[in-house]
Amino acid sequence: MKSILLLCIGLGLTASFSQAQNQNPYFLDSNFADGGVAVGTNPPWGTLQYRTYNVRTMTIGADDKIVFSGNQSPLFSPLGISGGHYAITRMKADGTMDSSFAVNGHKVFSSGDNGNPILTMNFLKILPDNKMLYAGSQASNPIERYVVFKVNADGSFDNTFGTNGRAVISVGPAMWSNLQNMGVQNTGKILLFGSNSGPQTPFTTSISRLNTNGALDNSFGTNGVLIPNLGFNTNNVRYWMVKVLGDNSFLVAGTHTEATTTTEITHDFIAKFDADGILQTNFGTNGKVILPLINNERLSFQNKEIDVDNNGNIYVNCATNGGSTGVSSVLVYKLNSTGVFENSYGQNGRLTVPNIKFSSWYGYDALLQGDKLLLAGMTDTGMNAPYSLQRLNADGTPDLTFANPTNELTATRETYDHLYHLGLQTNNSIMLGGNGKPGSKAADSIFPVVLRFMELGTVQPPVDTGTSVVNIKDQSQIKVYPNPMRDLLYIEGIKEGIKEDFSVQLFDICGKLMLNGNIKATQAIDCSQLPAGAYWLYLKAANSPTVYSHKIVKQ
């Protein structure tokens, strides 16, 4: 961690103040990577000299480490190339590479390594013990099957899972099995959602469950494979979004397609199953709810997970092509825990989100932050489009405490960014990730990009690992007042006759040192030159291992 240098140069301003005092409540965290932005170039991100690293997932672990996974290629391809090389990359919470994982934080899955060629790898879950499940499809011409890898926290394969850390799953008699999503129950059992088909075989969708060792769970469905009856006239269903709940029941959002002689009819739905795959008939109508459509629209489900708040309210985040209006937009459907639409949310439980576009190139993401919904995407689908980061209140109205004068943060790095993967760290910092170029001149490379946004006054500057930090409000000896203050700040409780002075420092909310010097008992600190805003105060005696901290506000 960075050290706080205690320089005894007398009271006074030591650096120009940060403009962040007049910015939004959330803004780029200057203590993260390079000014709030980390770009994963190669090297050091692995040994394969790739020109394209197309991010398919970004996940934040319980330890706040940042995990990317995606497709790599030595060729330039903004969309990525299916097959070839895939990778998991783990960064520390501060945006530096995590050398304790694989090779300098980077594990490459090359086609043919530990099994047959990999076709797609789109699903990653971090387990409570920091092991990871990485899943997709692999092929042995012409057979295609699900494949699930289990990786230890250090990046090695977990040899207790499948064969040398790899489980290959067949879910039907036909030659092609396509994995559509994955969930993990708190028992460690793995749910796989996908389809089985072939040239002469009807399309069949199923849910499978694996034991913790990667074998099919014979207590689930028939020999580990369940074909649910959702009440449609065919089984032509695709499962797009999944959420495993605390009691191991699970929600699934998907689409049923019904072909007629003249047209194709779709039914977009959300269904609820118990832990063993039985439809919950007390949810919606016989276990499912049809999502209402307007203007002959079609829905797109690029998000992989359904969001559920602490009250059991359900958020289905998707997008519409606009139907006959031709106006595409991101949508949020909100239902209560029993599958009834929250009519006060948007229009009868359906809310259109402005200023976020989507296409096959440009995705979107949504994530609950408490009872508020974060949404991310791009404001346009052209070159150098700005990203859009928004937050909505529980009733669907814009959260004007998130950004000023609206609820939206938007900017562009002008490097062909596709930023729409969301994550949260434990201090409530918002992570926005995706793909981009390291600079406008790098016209033939696409690398992972992640930005961190911090909330005003929530992040303290780092201190030496050899010191302990005590918040002044958690002790009774030292008192700081007034708070909020104007020009003078007083500190009481420093004992008269102490041999060494106390060092005092004020940092702005970006972590920049604003005031630095020494203080004696009863001495007032002149803060008249500081701009209004939030600050962190640090007090420390020269020979003491304790730093006293306090958040103060100047009016």
- The Cα diameter of the chain in Å comes to 95
Q: Is the pLDDT of residue 224 over 90?
A: yes
Each residue's pLDDT tens digit, 129-170: 999 999 999 887 788 999 999 999 999 999 999 999 999 999
Matching residue, tokens 């998000």: 303
Each residue's pLDDT tens digit, 169-200: 999 889 999 999 999 999 999 999 999 999 88
Beta strands in 321-457 (DSSP E): 329-335, 350-353, 365-369, 372-378, 387-392, 408-411, 418-424, 430-436, 447-455
pLDDT of residue 11: 32
Share of the chain above pLDDT 90, in %: 51
Helix, coil or strand: residue 323: helix
pLDDT of residue 24: 62
Closest to 359 measured CA to CA, from 124, 79, 145: 79
pLDDT band for position 467 (cuts 50, 70, 90): low
Separation of alpha carbons 275 and 235, rounded Å: 21
pTM: 0.81
pLDDT of residue 4: 30
Which residues lie below 8 Å from residue 289, measured CB to CB, with a gap of 6+? 269, 270, 271, 283, 335, 339, 341
Mean pLDDT to the nearest integer, 34-60: 79
Residue type, 49: Q
Q: Pick the more confident residue, 439 or 465.
A: 439
What is the secondary structure of 338-363 as a DSSP string? TS-B-TTTBBTTEEEETT-B--SS--
Which residues lie below 8 Å from residue 185, measured CB to CB, with a gap of 6+? 191, 244, 248, 250, 275
